[in-house]
């Protein structure tokens, strides 16, 4: 297998927002002296140009899966030492000891020539990143940590109830975890006595208004009279060049007033939970007054994925708590044209990764939320759902309203 094919297999195991710089086959040395066949890869993220050393295992003949990730920042170091790999043949191997961010790993190659190019690339990346602060955001590396063990642990958890989560401890022989799992099992036995379930009707709507103000009644759009929550996403509400320079939320005010005017004609009274504008994107959520005391931890976030990170493309999101459940809504506007399938998929991944909610909750960001829940989005996908060249978009078609 040539280098390009090998790098391609590594790239296939990464997310669209990360790319492989260099990769090689190695042995990972365990503390007890045992070793596992692994692939070491230098990976770079597109979001802030930070790099990491990612270790991958073989999953079948042609697939790779990440098991560990180490950020390459100012405290990253590695040392090399020659080791006899075959006494009879008198051949020398190469041991590489890597440390950084409080973690260490030891890698071994049967021949220095096997990883010569990798070491050269690693030195170049280390020199470039030696001035980077250790507190930079490298949360993207969490996606490449212990994925196999995590899925195995989740498969044997006592609780599958998303409202009662147990401790995902990496060590199953843990008295604290055993005790908590026992308590959770007892709670599940009494679940019917201690938990109440309620149904909410949620209306989600998306509209690319192409720069127009609301000059007509919105009753045909907001037709769900008995909805408990209205989550609305608008795209291209402001197409002026001034919005890129000066910002502002004048269009948000106009549209919110129009929406509230229509909602005021209904029997139930509604209040605004949150609203957020980013250039031409707007997300706004309304709920019945009867839910006001049950809604808390309201958070909004804006992520631009367009040219220079501007918000002509991207997503604005709102996450809040209703009693003991969390709801997340994203108004997204993705790259246009049928030829931009990969860019749309990349935008989707970028919005999920960079949308981070600062308040305390079980889900820190949209990516964490989607592990247990679908990503509810009001979106202008800029792609027909039936497009044969957009498999990833088709996978998520049930989660979106497209124009």
CA distance 276 to 270: 18
Give the pTM: 0.51
Closest of 282, 293, 290, 280 to residue 258, by C-alpha: 282
- Please say if the pLDDT value at position 380 is more than 80: no
285 vs 173, more confident: 285
CA distance 316 to 191: 36
- Please say if the pLDDT value at position 136 is more than 90: no
> Band of the pLDDT at 390, cuts 50, 70, 90?
very low
- Please say if the pLDDT value at position 270 is more than 90: yes
- Taking residues 367-384, report their average pLDDT: 52
Domain boundaries defined on the chain: 3-151, 163-194, 202-399
Please state the CATH superfamily assignment of the domain spanning residues 202-399 in this structure.
Answer: Endonuclease/exonuclease/phosphatase (3.60.10.10)
The pLDDT, as a whole number, for residue 243 is 72
353 vs 222, more confident: 222
Residue 189, classed as helix, strand or coil, is helix
Assess whether the region 3-151 and the region 202-399 belong to the same CATH fold. Answer: no
pLDDT tens readout for residues 24-36: 999 999 888 888 8
* CATH architecture, domain 3-151: Roll (2.30)
Residue 330 contacts residue 309 (beta carbons within 8 Å): no
The pLDDT, as a whole number, for residue 363 is 54
Lowest mean pLDDT among 99-103, 321-325, 395-399: 395-399
CA distance 155 to 120: 41
The pLDDT, as a whole number, for residue 393 is 40
> Band of the pLDDT at 158, cuts 50, 70, 90?
very low
pLDDT tens readout for residues 312-337: 788 899 999 998 888 999 988 888 77
Q: Please state the three-class secondary structure of 37-84 as a single string.
A: EEEEEEEEECCCCCEEEEEEEEECCCEEEEEEEEEECCCCEEEEEEEE
Other CB atoms closer than 10 Å to residue 370's CB: what's the count? 15
What are the Cα distances from residue 267, in Å, to 45, 220, 229, 246? 50, 17, 14, 39
- Taking residues 5-11, report their average pLDDT: 81
- Backbone phi, psi, residue 137, to 5°: -75, 110
pLDDT tens readout for residues 103-123: 888 999 988 888 888 999 999
- Please say if the pLDDT value at position 140 is more than 50: yes
């Amino acid at each position: 297998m040539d280098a390009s094919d090998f790098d391609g297999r590594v790239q296939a195991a990464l997310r669209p927002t990360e790319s492989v710089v260099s990769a090689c086959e190695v042995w990972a040395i365990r503390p007890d002296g045992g070793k596992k066949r692994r692939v070491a890869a230098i990976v770079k993220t597109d979001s802030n140009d930070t790099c990491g050393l990612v270790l991958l295992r073989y999953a079948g003949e042609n697939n790779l899966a990440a098991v560990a990730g180490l950020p390459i920042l100012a405290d990253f170091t590695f040392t090399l030492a020659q080791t006899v790999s075959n006494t009879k043949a008198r051949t020398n191997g190469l041991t590489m000891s890597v440390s950084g961010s409080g973690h260490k790993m030891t890698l071994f190659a049967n021949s220095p020539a096997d990883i010569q190019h990798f070491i050269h690339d690693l030195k170049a990346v280390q020199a470039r990143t030696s001035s980077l602060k250790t507190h930079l955001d490298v949360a993207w590396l969490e996606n490449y940590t212990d994925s196999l063990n995590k899925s195995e642990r989740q498969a044997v958890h006592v609780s599958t109830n998303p409202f009662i989560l147990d401790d995902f401890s990496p060590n199953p022989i843990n008295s604290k975890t055993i005790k908590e799992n026992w308590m959770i099992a007892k709670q599940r036995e009494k679940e019917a006595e201690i938990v109440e379930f309620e149904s909410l009707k949620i209306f989600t709507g998306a509209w690319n208004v192409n720069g127009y103000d609301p000059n007509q009644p919105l009753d045909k759009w907001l037709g769900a009279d008995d909805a408990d929550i209205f989550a609305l996403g608008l795209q291209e509400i402001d197409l002026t060049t001034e919005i890129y320079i000066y910002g502002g939320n004048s269009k948000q005010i106009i549209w919110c007033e129009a929406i509230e005017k229509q909602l005021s004609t209904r029997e139930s009274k509604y209040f605004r939970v949150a609203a957020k504008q980013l250039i031409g994107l707007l997300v706004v959520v309304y709920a019945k007054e009867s839910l006001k005391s049950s809604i808390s931890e309201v958070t909004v976030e804006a992520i631009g994925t367009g040219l220079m990170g501007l918000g002509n493309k991207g997503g604005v999101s709102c996450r809040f708590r209703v009693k003991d459940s969390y709801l997340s809504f994203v108004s997204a506007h993705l790259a246009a044209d049928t030829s931009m399938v990969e860019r749309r998929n990349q935008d989707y991944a970028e919005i999920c990764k960079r949308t981070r909610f600062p308040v305390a909750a079980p889900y820190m960001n949209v990516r964490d939320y989607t592990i247990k829940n679908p990503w509810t989005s009001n979106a202008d996908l800029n792609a027909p759902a039936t497009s044969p060249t957009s498999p990833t978009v088709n996978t998520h078609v049930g989660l979106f309203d497209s124009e």
